[in-house]
Amino acid sequence: MSKVQNILEINVQEPYLSFIRDGVKTVEGRLNKGKFKEIQVGDVLIIGSIEKKYKVVGKNIYNTIFRMVIEEGFEKVIPDKQNPTEAAQVYYKFFTKQQEEEFGVVAILITEV
């Protein structure tokens, strides 16, 4: 018996939305809480205004954003930055270090369906 896949809608801001559409951003990082904690490999994401679907092909949990961008490769997470430190700093525009400590972060690996 196969698992029923979930279809989830998520929002991603520019320029990261375009990076996903263009196939250069293949890892979406989020706080490991709510629907992002529940996402499973095989689920399908509908991302923002992109009229494409993306399958979750991997999910990795980290204690910190910095560890995530190191392990996943910063160029797959935040393609327009020059190094892991710059890539990690982008995330602190969206959540605090206290939230990072409380929930951890999840790397959601995606590929276009």
pLDDT in tens, 72-82: 999 999 999 99
Per-residue pLDDT of 27-41, as tens digits, reads 999 999 999 999 999
pLDDT over 60 (residue 69): yes
- What domain range is 30 assigned to? 7-112
Q: Which two tokens stand for residue 15?
A: 């320029």
pTM greater than 0.95 (yes/no): no
CA end-to-end span of the chain, whole Å?
Answer: 22
- Is position 1 within any domain? no
CA pair distance 113, 83, nearest whole angstrom: 29
- Is position 2 within any domain? no
pLDDT grade for 1, boundaries at 50, 70 and 90: very low
Burial class (CB in 10 A: 0-12, 13-18, 19+), 111: exposed
List the CATH number of the domain containing 64.
Answer: 2.30.130.30
Domains held by the chain: number: 1
pLDDT grade for 3, boundaries at 50, 70 and 90: low
